[in-house]
Amino acid sequence: MLRVTLSKKELFDCQRAANGRSMLSRASGVINQRKDKASTDQEIDLIGIKGELAVSKVYQADFSPFDFGVDAGVDMFLGDIGVDVKTTKYSTGVLLFKSVDAFKAPIAILCTEIDENTMAVIGWIRKTEFAAKCRKFINPKTNTYTDGVCVDQSDLNSPEELWLNITRVKLSNQQGNSI
């Protein structure tokens, strides 16, 4: 796990971007598919943007919280490698997708929120690994199965390993390399 502290300006930008995303999504009729009914749409958008920013800082990705558009399953690129960032406010939260088919990017990264300005980059997983290891999601509050599949944090690869793999791909200077 890597701890990432966000500056006051970064938090301000995340809040502004979350406000914009929420307004645009709701005005467009897009319904947030959150599993946590205790959080508002804007809170979900904010924590997601903070997780994306934390990942971009760790891996030095070109990222702006103000890039809007329909979510196509890739939040950013690390070189030529598409990444989907999933963020939860629960320290023991799982990496969750609606289905295996909803995992669109080659890799996904899980972040958790430690406090208002501190995020944790927990780990990452390849799409193929996720498909092999995932299980049905059980809502821990109700202890019932819900729509979705997940992997536990213990199933994820370390953030440092991803950095090493990305660096190897970049240094190989060859197009089409994958992690």
Nearest to 54 by CA among 96, 1, 102: 1
Q: Where are the domains of the chain?
A: 2-172
Q: What is the pLDDT of residues 31-79, one digit of tens each?
A: 666 666 778 888 999 999 999 999 999 999 999 988 866 678 999 999 8
Of all helices (H) and strands (E), which one includes residue 146? strand 144-151
CA–CA–CA angle 129, 93, 10 (5° rounding): 100
Q: What pLDDT digit, counting tens, does each position of 55-65 carry?
A: 999 999 999 98
Strands 95-97 and 81-88, bridge-based pairing:
unpaired
Compute how many other C-beta atoms are within 10 angstroms of the C-beta atom of residue 149: 21
Confidence of residue 146 (pLDDT cuts 50, 70, 90): confident
Q: What backbone torsions phi and psi does residue 125 show, to the nearest 5 degrees?
A: -155, 145
Question: Each residue of 111-127: pLDDT tens digit?
Answer: 999 999 999 999 999 99
